[in-house]
């Protein structure tokens, strides 16, 4: 039976296993840092998309609320510059401007509504988010029936 002592082992060991493990650890570290950077970027993109969608929905809600509020249209007819309203929904704030459009106030032919007219309005809504600075701007045309001029 052959027994080797420490003095009989070959002296040619150069630490190759250490170098291989260090290279492998470096590659794993680069992969981990890259994954964390990608995750952080995706999180910011999702947050921005959510904030943008929130401002868009706030602007749409403000337009819908303005359409329901008949006093807004009466004020807009009496004020040549239009009327402004503000709405807040969470961290999002929207302002609407209702303007009377110049143009035809006639109802389409074929309707027998007597002495009524259709007054065209434009509602412009601008919504901003206080947290991220996201902005949305929407515009919608609306016609309201009103008693005719004659």
3-state secondary structure 128-143: EECCCCCEEEEEEEEE
The two tokens of residue 145 are 């029936």
Instruction: Name residue 96's beta-bridge partners.
Output: 85, 125
The per-residue pLDDT for 31 is: 95
Among the listed residues 92, 67, 88, 37, the one whose alpha carbon sits nearest the alpha carbon of residue 143: 67
DSSP 8-state class, residue 102: P
Alpha carbon distance 12, 58 (integer Å):
74
pLDDT, tens digit, 9 for 90 and up, residues 3-45: 656 565 556 667 788 889 999 999 999 999 999 999 999 999 9
pLDDT, tens digit, 9 for 90 and up, residues 95-141: 888 888 776 555 555 565 666 777 888 888 999 988 788 899 999 88
Among the listed residues 122, 120, 123, 54, the one whose alpha carbon sits nearest the alpha carbon of residue 91: 54
Q: Answer for the pair 96, 125: CB distance below 8 angstroms, yes or no.
A: yes
pLDDT, tens digit, 9 for 90 and up, residues 74-100: 777 777 677 888 888 888 888 888 888
What radius of gyration do the chain's Cα atoms show?
35
| pTM for the model | 0.68
The per-residue pLDDT for 113 is: 61
Alpha carbon distance 148, 22 (integer Å):
87
């Amino acid at each position: 039976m052959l027994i080797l002592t420490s003095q009989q082992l070959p002296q040619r060991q150069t630490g190759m296993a250490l170098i291989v493990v260090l290279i492998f650890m470096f590659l794993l570290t680069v992969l981990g840092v890259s994954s964390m950077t990608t995750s952080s970027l995706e999180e910011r993109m999702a947050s921005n998309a959510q904030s943008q969608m929130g401002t868009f929905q706030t602007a749409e809600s403000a337009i819908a609320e303005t359409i329901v509020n008949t006093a807004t249209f009466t004020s807009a007819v009496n004020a040549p510059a239009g009327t402004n309203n503000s709405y807040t929904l969470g961290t999002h704030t929207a302002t609407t401007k209702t303007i009377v459009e110049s143009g035809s106030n006639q109802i389409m032919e074929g309707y027998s509504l007597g002495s009524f007219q259709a007054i065209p309005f434009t509602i412009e809504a601008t919504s901003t988010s206080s947290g991220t600075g996201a902005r949305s701007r929407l515009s919608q045309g609306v016609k309201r029936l009103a008693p005719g001029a004659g």
